[in-house]
Amino acid sequence: MAAPVSRTGARVERLPLARFTTLGVGGESEVWFVSDHAQLAEAMEQPYRILGGGSNLVIADEGVPERVIRLSGPLAERDLEPDPHLSTEGEIVTGWVGGGVPLPGLIRQLQKLGLSNLEGTVGIPAQVGGAVWMNAGTRYGEMFDGLHTIEIVTPQETRQVTPADLQWGYRDSGIPRNHVVSRVRLRLRPSTPEAVLEKMDFADNARKGQPKMKTPGCAFKNPGGVSAGRLIDEAGLKGTRAGNALIAPEHANFIVNLGGATAADVHALLDAIRARVPVPMELEYELWPERLPGLHSPGSQTTDPHQPDAHRDGPAT
């Protein structure tokens, strides 16, 4: 049976959100696949959340009551042709790149075209809109290195801004929550595929110590430039387990799903980290919803890795 379609033509389906997240956790919710501005406006008529690549999300096993908006169709397409009115000899400004475009494929394509500025974001499994919204990056570069114009949609208006209009910084675009990054124009520097690849390899190397299991990436932002992973490690928390979630032995700022983890398991580990690390750290993960009912149930107790029955090594994927 074909999926129901909204007044403006958006596909609307109840789906388990686990399949859209890199952690592999999240219950059934109403997903709106919107492919143009009219569909987006309709989806935003009721309370909503916006789902990108799901690579920073911990979603409750009950799902969420709000509409979950996912950009698709033309809002997940890219036009990388230089705009003749905006580009100069030393700088290429592209056509529109949809917020729903997967970032890894875009970065590979830019490398092949020999276009520089965004190669530092290699290996981030986001969509363009989600990566822009939180200015995803690494020590080798971030999204705002390569943005010219950002189109932002709210229930009230659609507006185009430049990075200079926003208070952006480390893992922060300055764009309020639930303002949708619908599409962007990239600002790129002509280079060669070889030179771009060399820089990408450098940034990729920094990931060698990261776990290869199901995870939403780093749990906490680095406070004042200090590695949150190092702080969690120094607190002795590597290998701490709650249910089927584990603080990764490879890198303490990653929580991994050993198979069958629940959102409550992840929340319990986040609480354990907050309780044991003496430095205040800002959460990087997005929790949907922010607090779970019945969090401190026996099923979400943590296991100290220094106790003999603690589970330290998860199965390889």
Nearer residue to ligand FAD within complex by CB, 82 or 223? 223
Q: Which residues pair with 141 in a beta bridge?
A: 138
Q: Select from 36, 61, 233, 271 the one that contacts ligand EPU (CB under 6 A).
A: 233
Tell me which of 93, 113, 166, 206 binds ligand EPU, using CB under 6 A.
206
Please give the Cα distance from 36 to 76 (Å, whole number): 10
Please state, in angstroms and rounded to a whole number, the distance separating the CA atoms of residues 40 and 46.
Answer: 11
Residue 100 near residue 71, CB atoms below 8 Å: yes
Instruction: Determine contact, residues 52/124, Cβ cutoff 8 Å.
Output: no
7 is annotated as an active-site residue: no
67 included as an active-site residue: no
- Token couple for 240: 């701490």
Interface region with ligand EPU, contact rule CB under 6 A, candidates 25-33, 107-115, 150-158, 215-223: 215-223
Cα separation, 96 vs 118, whole angstroms: 16
Q: What angle do CA 113, 191, 138 make, to 5 degrees?
A: 85
Choose the catalytic residue: 171, 189, 276, 312: 171
Measured CA to CA, the distance from residue 248 to residue 232 in angstroms comes to 11
Is residue 139 within the footprint of ligand EPU (CB under 6 A)? yes
Residue nearer to ligand EPU on the CB measure, 232 or 264? 232
Q: Which does 180 bind (CB under 5 to 8 A by kind): ligand EPU, ligand FAD, none?
A: ligand FAD
Query: What's the Cα-to-Cα distance from 188 to each of 83, 148, 213, 224, 230, rounded to whole Å?
Result: 12, 9, 33, 29, 34
274 binds ligand EPU (CB under 6 A): no
CB of 55 to ligand EPU, least distance (A): 8
Distance of CA 150 to the CA centre of its chain: 17
User: Rounded to an integer, what distance in angstroms lies between the CA atom of residue 210 and that of residue 268?
Assistant: 21
Active-site pick, 67, 185, 218, 241: 218
Angle at 176 between CA 173 and CA 181, to 5 degrees: 70
Q: Identify which of residues 27 and 249 has a Cβ nearer to ligand EPU in the complex.
A: 249
Give the residue from 214, 153, 148, 215 showing the smallest Cα distance to 185. Answer: 148
Q: Which does 228 bind (CB under 5 to 8 A by kind): ligand EPU, ligand FAD, none?
A: ligand EPU
What count of other Cβ atoms lies within 10 Å of the Cβ of residue 45? 11
Q: How far apart are CB 211 and ligand FAD at their closest, in Å?
A: 8
Place of tokens 């969509």: 127
The reply to whether 284 sits near ligand EPU by the rule CB under 6 A is: yes
From ligand FAD, ligand EPU, none, interface partner of 125 (C-beta below 5 to 8 A by class): ligand FAD
Helix (H) or strand (E) holding 44: none
| Residue 217 sits in the site that holds ligand EPU (CB under 6 A) | yes
Q: Say whether residue 209 binds ligand EPU (CB under 6 A).
A: yes
Give 121 or 191: the residue with its C-beta nearer to ligand EPU.
121
What residues line the site for ligand FAD (CB under 6 A)? Answer: 22, 49-57, 71, 99, 124-127, 129-131, 133-134, 136-138, 171, 180-181, 215-217, 286
**With CB cut-offs between 5 and 8 Å by kind, which of ligand EPU, ligand FAD, none does residue 26 bind?**
none
Which residues belong to the active site? Answer: 171, 218
Interface with ligand EPU by CB under 6 A: which residues?
138-139, 206-207, 209, 217-218, 221-222, 227-230, 233, 251-253, 284
